[in-house]
Amino acid sequence: MDLASIYRAEYGRCVATLTRLLGDINLAEEAVQDAFTTALQKWQTAPPNPGAWIVTTARNRAVDRLRRETTREARHAEALLLHQPDEPQEVGPVKDDQLRLIFTCCHPALAPDARTALTLRLLGGLDVPEIARAYLTQEATVAQRIVRAKKKIRDAGIPYRVPAEHELPDRLPPVLTVLYLMFNEGYSATTGPLIRTDLCAEAIRLARELAALMPDEPEVLGLLALLLLTEARRPARLGPTGDLVPLADQDRSLWDRALIAEGHDLVRRCLRRNRPGPYQIQAAISAVHTDGAATDWRQVLALYDQLLALAPTPVVALNRAVAVAEVHGPAVALAALEDIDLPGYHRLPATRAELLARLGHHAAARAAYDEAAALATNETERAHLQRRRTELTDPRRTS
């Protein structure tokens, strides 16, 4: 393995462990970066357990650094570092530390934007320019968010620990939201290239870690399954010229069979636990889409009914309407859209346009496509909507 992939795989784990040892996120980051710099100079080939090497080196570098500094705080940190009871040497990253760190990064007392940026920085090892590019934000804004969040963690005493069982209902959802949003932004970027594979890969990597650490939380497994089953369809999502291909027209032979098998397996594990939640149901819907040669829309609709009862949001209602169209026809689906209030979201008029087109109301469909294209922020999606509109005006189609 090259140093870059070791860095991506080990950075978050090492920062997590060093944060526990040093009691301070900034010191931990500096120490881990120092250790990677040393690795770059010293390694001919990577040692068998690179994570353990980085943790040990980072720890030693932190001791050296603290000895050079004379402030009271530094002395206190040094004392903490040197008197970790029962701390075995050279064991490498401790799994629970990553869990601690992700709960700290996604603490509800931090602003939602800061949670994602901090998670990508500390657990994903992405640097500020990478995060800024991923979210098309100014680097200075991202840097400021991260600095403010770290300062609040320290000043307000946001704990570095895994929440107790009874706290999880409040504390797990923000963690799952961060991973879900990270993946979504990668899968369907707000602007710029439609797909950002690095964000998708990072969200899946972190979801896998979380599932390995919390195998008894069905919503964690549900989220991982949802991400895997969505990722599996990515190779078929764009056509040869980079245009968006809707699910119905996708070449299913391009779908990733291994990811689908893994996702289906996770969905079955969730079903056995029988503690359904929004991520598990969305995963089950994705499982139906990726099962066999065609989608069983009745099953999808039944799942959306269940999801809507559990999470009655306008976006769920919109997705349900798409399934209604397949089962009960476009007229019934069009009526279902009338009660949905989603101002500024292009997918509502886009769905209305598709349904109107199917009913042969081409003038109304064109107007709805125009409305959708004006709202779409991503160029690929806008081009797709405009193409659908053009196809409508084709006389061969309108006849």
Partner 1 sequence: MKQYLLSVHVVEGAPEPSDDEIQTMFRETGRINDEMQAAGAWVFGGGLVSPDSATVVRIENGSTTMSDGPFAETKEHIAGFWVIKCADLDEALAWAEKCAATCGPVEVRPFDDLSQA
Residues lying near partner 1 in the complex (CB under 8 A): 107, 109, 155-159, 163, 167
Least distance to partner 1, CB of residue 41, Å: 37
Are the CB atoms for 251 and 236 separated by under 8 Å?
A: yes
Distance CA 229, CA 95 (A): 26
Distance CA 114, CA 149 (A): 6
Q: How far apart are the first and last CA of the chain?
A: 60
Q: Which is nearer to partner 1, 2 or 155 (CB)?
A: 155
> Phi and psi dihedrals of 10, rounded to 5?
-105, -20
Q: Which is nearer to partner 1, 109 or 140 (CB)?
A: 109
Least distance to partner 1, CB of residue 179, Å: 21
Q: Which is nearer to partner 1, 20 or 328 (CB)?
A: 20
Least distance to partner 1, CB of residue 120, Å: 22
Least distance to partner 1, CB of residue 141, Å: 25
Least distance to partner 1, CB of residue 150, Å: 14
Least distance to partner 1, CB of residue 58, Å: 25
> Judging by beta carbons within 10 Å of its beta carbon (0-12, 13-18, 19+), is residue 153 exposed, middle or buried?
buried
Least distance to partner 1, CB of residue 99, Å: 15
Q: Which is nearer to partner 1, 163 or 192 (CB)?
A: 163
Q: Which is nearer to partner 1, 16 or 199 (CB)?
A: 16
Q: Which is nearer to partner 1, 107 or 233 (CB)?
A: 107
Q: Which is nearer to partner 1, 155 or 216 (CB)?
A: 155
Estimate the crossing angle of helix 95-105 against helix 112-122, to 10 degrees.
150
Least distance to partner 1, CB of residue 278, Å: 24
Q: Which is nearer to partner 1, 109 or 332 (CB)?
A: 109
Estimate the crossing angle of helix 168-187 against helix 197-213, to 10 degrees.
150
Token match 């909507």: residue?
A: 385
